[in-house]
Amino acid sequence: MTSRERIITALEHKEPDRVPVDLGGWSDTGIAAIAYRDLRRFLGIKSGMIRIYDPVQQLAQPEEQVLRRVGFLYFSQKKF
């Protein structure tokens, strides 16, 4: 099941193969910069820089390489 199919299935109140998760697809859904730093370390990703798009909430903009590593295949075209 693709991430898109997973979201549509959940929106239709059916059971997807796993729970759909939104990690920074919109400006109000994101991951705290500290948690994102820890996620990158856990995944062994050392290159790149953590980009903060909401300084008040300290939300990081997830990089494509991180999203791919955790299995997120649907990427927002929105730029922050």
**Is the model more confident about 79 or about 22?**
22
Per the confidence metrics, is the pTM higher than 0.85? no
- Alpha carbon 50 to chain centroid distance? 13
Average pLDDT value over all residues in the chain: 83
Confidence of residue 4 (pLDDT cuts 50, 70, 90): confident
Cα 52 to Cα 5, 6, 55, 65, distances in angstroms: 29, 28, 6, 17
